[in-house]
Structure 1
Amino acid sequence: MHYSKTLIKSENAARYLQTLCRHFSRKVPAEWNEQTGKVNFAMGNCELTNLTESNELAVICSADSLAKLTTVQRILEQHVTMLSRRETIHIVWIEG
């Protein structure tokens, strides 16, 4: 299994968690609450956690191949970029 993680620093982290999970749930299984979310893509999974104290959204992605993991990362990046039009967010993935 391959894993990667990132921290998205934003005062809108809680809103991003809710909006991303709600949006993805239209096409793939997703469940969420105010603090956590999980999205099950066909190629892998993504877990989101709202870190309220630090205004960050922690994201952990997993897949059974590096190619599939890269696809999950790309999907998440595209949607965060779409949602964050009013702020610039740089996503740096850490393997592991």
Structure 2
Amino acid sequence: MLTAEAHIPTDRASRYLVQLCKHFANKGRHLGHRPRAHALPEVPLDRIEVEWTDDEGLLRLPWGQCTLRALPGTLRVRVEADDQENVERLQDLVSTHLARFSKRDPLRVEWGTGPATHT
């Protein structure tokens, strides 16, 4: 697996973690509605699995997963996928959603490469 990780400075780490997880958990509930401009391309909505607490979150998509952890003053986000294209896809997905959620006080998301892991 390839990984990338971001440590995002914020005093509202838990708030953003929960907001992001709730957003993706609700994706499957909009099946009868007109697709939104930010709908996930090529992702069957019933294939998005989301678990979270106030301090930890997990998003599973067909092309990888994202783990989130709320720490004091920091939101830690780690994406994992089988190839670089899907790592970048997850990075873009998380970054664009966090940018939209933090318009009043924009978050700065800078990705670093994590160590390769084998599962």
TM > 0.5 between the two?
yes
Structure 2: 5+ residue stretches without partners: 28-47, 115-119
Write the deviation string for residues 15-67 of structure 1: whole angstroms up to 9, x where unpaired: 00000001011232100001100000121100000002xx1100110000000
Larger RCO of the pair (alpha carbons < 8 Å, separation 6+):
2
TM-score by length of 2: 0.76
User: Structure 1 runs of 4+ off > 6 angstroms?
Assistant: none
Match for residue 34 of structure 1?
54
Q: Tell me the secondary structure at the aligned position of residue 23 of structure 1.
A: helix
Match for residue 94 of structure 1?
112
Match for residue 13 of structure 1?
13
- The letter of the residue matching 1:57 is L
Match for residue 85 of structure 1?
103
CA RMSD of aligned residues (A): 0.9
Structure 1: 5+ residue stretches without partners: none
Give, in whole Å, the separation in 1 of the partners of 2:57 and 2:21. Answer: 7
Larger Rg: 2
Taking the TM superposition and a 5 Å limit, the aligned residue runs for 1:3-82 are 3-27=3-27, 28-52=48-72, 55-82=73-100
Shift of 1:83: 0.3
- The letter of the residue matching 1:8 is I
TM-score by length of 1: 0.93
Identity percentage over the alignment? 30
